[in-house]
Structure 1
């Protein structure tokens, strides 16, 4: 028998789903404005229709001798217990959530012959079936399917709108589903809980509105200095893909456990500190300002809340000069501070950000640079001595897998920190960040964690442990407005926006950086018109920002590189009317 034939899995045989009605009855029906979390997702939907997380798919655990009737009863209780699961979401003015007091959900029931692979593989097949058609926006926000064999349910999967649940809520649904399947006595709605309708009412209070306004002020301050692209690298390939590299490291988990015992901080903060140190060494930034995600599950009333609460936040992580233990504590403080400002009206944030982008001449990407979905169990790892950690490094692996197209230059996702460190690193542009680069960054994080496990590291020892040199940028690159800028990329955007042989950028013109000289046309006669045209073309160019100054001229001269040949008509920054 060949190795390939030994590893070949038997095919998954599933019948077409048979619809089974799940009737549900809740305590109330009502319609109210959306919560801040729902508005955040709604705003994101409008720009991310093809994103893989528009809905969240999950395997629902089943075990023992349970039948379809048990699943139907369990789903009915979940729908009665959690109003967000029986809500219709309406994108109106204002957007609203309409809770139904009763209705019917259709459960898809497939048959399998029982000879296929494990439950998880069957659940993934069920999920693909569920996602064969888009979720009906006018219907309920979730769909569920099960596979049964001779009357016993062997696998289950759920696909749910991000408007109804975030990843924290999905975990609650999974836990309650498994509990009720295993224990019939748990199949009751129980006492009333904090629901999205209640959250919307709470957020409309004067105190909560002030908090949301304070969050927007914090965002304004950070967006006024955040780099357009933290990880600005030159192109190394003519074309690229979207790729994720996954680190699996027992040594990293053991090291994080040892550091957590010493610093009394979370493992997520420890990994964030290591990521921050690696990125600072590569990028040259002494302080990192970057998007992250906040779960916003603060306080007992939100512990079992099924709704979407997670929103983007901006984290400020000072890196330069810190010993590693101090950097870990700084990371913990930075996360807490950013989470204090992570509930806000996303539509107001977008309006504010667009004004800042216009004034600064940048295009931000709000995909999180770092996101932790790892559960903090607090369970110490087994032997985390230096010898055990070094021994464990032999099993470290980095695997690659394709990902849906994305616009992020880099995104770290901490999936697990206990027992095995699972850290994903995703890029949407392998032209600038190669798979080898992804691998080297992940291994640098492991190197630093392993080195710090034995004791605190000085700033110099951190640099030695990371083992990576700064990004190599050409001599023509400039640092302007906190952004590393490639003038050749600015020129590329000018050519896209105005056409070839129209404009020329100068990295330095007198005492000004990034000055664009361009020939006027019928449609572009002023710096303001030139700036608007350039900004419309800037997206997708992470190493370009808008010129700091526009010089409008009669025509392009024979030698565009000679500034003295341009016949100047008027000039300005394009942001402030009235300049000449």
Structure 2
């Protein structure tokens, strides 16, 4: 049996203004994915007793938590609609009512009912002007809620913002207060970015972009390659490598860099190998959570950073250790220059394209989905070549045919404990199946070889 509990909320304010830069970035990603934009929806299930959060939880605890987080974080009561000129704007509601979907179950069926409810809350695309961007549900056994289920529209948060939201939800489910005030709301972020200080920040970032865009090669892939017969428009291939995870840990510890930089370096070298380039030009997804007022903000703050990695001539492509340091330095510059006005970047790209006689290809993207990916690693001393070699047979590769995707090359690092888990979305006109497999396995080979060399050198 399913019922709906109505939760009335009343926030401190409402209002309409333009989108923040982070909201614009996600709005554009959504538009590239239409009609498959529901794939960007996010959700999670909290097993209240199994995860040690609370016991004997009444439904009132769930509805109170929903009310608290919606009133605290304006992003959760923000809808996006078109202004009179067609420009998207954010509309923050001061008050309203959200439904909590309640499913009754038995002790034996509760977990399965929670998974089914998660699917129902996640699968439907959001009606951005009319739907609340936050969906909530609960699975109840008798009078006790065993599982809380939440879905959220990507337009109003990102991975870093989701971390802050989950933290506040867990505190609410425990019945604990949220003492400190919330970090900057998207409404305030948008107003700041339109100020003189915000414009200066954008201009500084775009000067960095301009220096690179004016000099890097225009193309990332050879032109005029026909899509092989029988290939789908896109492949999504996922490599799972426990051995690669140990190798990354060893290399990050030895080089005193982030594990993200190690993985990106290997991807850059392998891409250069397969395209004949001397450098890899990639857009990296930057959380921007290191900036003041954004660490605990739920609203989206991520934007693309431009990362240009000098790999060198083909004869140098086996020297991953040399490229790792370059990648870390290039990544830091990308992180520092990843807050800017997207419309101003559009203008810059148009200007550079006109001056150079062709569009600069920015179709290569890298996204580390692990929340701790930017943390420098000082581990790895206990990893041995023998331990890495023993895990080689555990590597897996799985495939999914994709009809539509918003980039020609997009490498995601997934949060899978104990494994280097990489998903590559690739346009088969530039990377057919054989090249996709070679790319992912080539990354693994580079990492394992470099780890073995580093261990011997140590």
Alignment TM-score, normalising by the size of structure 1:
0.68
Distance 1:124 1:350, change over 3 A: farther
* Distance in 1 (alpha carbons) for counterparts of 2:172 and 2:93: 23
Q: CA deviation at 1:359?
A: 5.5
Matched, 1:334 2:333: no
C-alpha contact (below 8 Å) 1:25/1:102 kept by paired residues: yes
Give the counterpart of 2:3 among 18, 36, 51: 18
The match for 2:418 is 419
C-alpha contact (below 8 Å) 1:256/1:417 kept by paired residues: no
Q: CA deviation at 1:386?
A: 0.6
The match for 1:166 is 158
The match for 1:223 is 213
Distance 1:277 1:43, change over 3 A: closer
The match for 1:350 is 346
* Distance in 2 (alpha carbons) for counterparts of 1:98 and 1:423: 37
Q: Please state whether the residue corresponding to 2:405 is helix, strand or coil.
A: coil
* Distance in 1 (alpha carbons) for counterparts of 2:402 and 2:170: 30
Distance 1:98 1:410, change over 3 A: closer
Matched, 1:202 2:192: yes
The match for 1:391 is 390
Matched, 1:177 2:173: no
Q: Deviations over 1:64-116 (max 9, x none)?
A: 14343221111111112211112233432565433333221112223345545
* Distance in 2 (alpha carbons) for counterparts of 1:400 and 1:117: 31
* Distance in 2 (alpha carbons) for counterparts of 1:83 and 1:368: 33
* Distance in 2 (alpha carbons) for counterparts of 1:384 and 1:144: 43
* Distance in 2 (alpha carbons) for counterparts of 1:127 and 1:27: 32
* Distance in 2 (alpha carbons) for counterparts of 1:368 and 1:452: 24
Distance 1:226 1:442, change over 3 A: same
The match for 1:49 is 34
* Distance in 1 (alpha carbons) for counterparts of 2:384 and 2:204: 45
The match for 2:77 is 86
Bigger proportion of residues as helix: 2
The correspondence of residues 129-278 of structure 1 with structure 2, limited to 5 A, is 129-132=121-124, 134-181=126-173, 183-186=174-177, 188=178, 190-227=180-217, 229-232=219-222, 234-235=225-226, 237-241=228-232, 242-278=234-270
Q: Deviations over 1:351-394 (max 9, x none)?
A: 43245445656556655521111232758469510111100112
Q: Please state whether the residue corresponding to 1:302 is helix, strand or coil.
A: coil
* Distance in 2 (alpha carbons) for counterparts of 1:149 and 1:228: 60
Give the counterpart of 1:319 among 311, 323, 328: 311
Q: CA deviation at 1:256?
A: 1.1
Distance 1:424 1:124, change over 3 A: farther
> Relative to structure 2, which stretch is displaced further, 359-368 or 43-52?
359-368
C-alpha contact (below 8 Å) 1:51/1:404 kept by paired residues: no
C-alpha contact (below 8 Å) 1:289/1:314 kept by paired residues: yes
Q: CA deviation at 1:308?
A: 0.8
* Distance in 1 (alpha carbons) for counterparts of 2:381 and 2:72: 39
Matched, 1:99 2:89: no
The match for 1:434 is 432
C-alpha contact (below 8 Å) 2:18/2:88 kept by paired residues: yes
The match for 1:35 is 20
* Distance in 2 (alpha carbons) for counterparts of 1:398 and 1:276: 20
The correspondence of residues 524-535 of structure 1 with structure 2, limited to 5 A, is none
Q: CA deviation at 1:184?
A: 0.9
C-alpha contact (below 8 Å) 2:8/2:98 kept by paired residues: yes
* Distance in 2 (alpha carbons) for counterparts of 1:53 and 1:245: 20
Q: Please state whether the residue corresponding to 1:41 is helix, strand or coil.
A: helix
Which runs of 5 or more residues in structure 2 are unaligned?
A: 50-54
Give the counterpart of 2:449 among 443, 448, 451: 451
* Distance in 2 (alpha carbons) for counterparts of 1:229 and 1:114: 57
C-alpha contact (below 8 Å) 1:26/1:81 kept by paired residues: yes
* Distance in 2 (alpha carbons) for counterparts of 1:34 and 1:403: 30
CA root-mean-square deviation: 3.1
* Distance in 2 (alpha carbons) for counterparts of 1:108 and 1:130: 13
Distance 1:49 1:456, change over 3 A: same
Q: Deviations over 1:465-494 (max 9, x none)?
A: xxxxxxxxxxxxxxxxxxxxxxxxxxxxxx
Which runs of 5 or more residues in structure 1 are unaligned?
A: 1-14, 458-580
* Distance in 1 (alpha carbons) for counterparts of 2:445 and 2:344: 42
Give the counterpart of 1:284 among 276, 282, 287: 276
Q: CA deviation at 1:206?
A: 2.1
Q: Deviations over 1:203-229 (max 9, x none)?
A: 233232112023233334433455555
Distance 1:272 1:294, change over 3 A: same
Q: Please state whether the residue corresponding to 2:443 is helix, strand or coil.
A: helix
Q: CA deviation at 1:45?
A: 4.1
Q: Please state whether the residue corresponding to 2:97 is helix, strand or coil.
A: strand
Rg larger in structure: 1
The match for 1:505 is none
Distance 1:124 1:332, change over 3 A: farther
Distance 1:213 1:125, change over 3 A: same
* Distance in 2 (alpha carbons) for counterparts of 1:109 and 1:453: 51
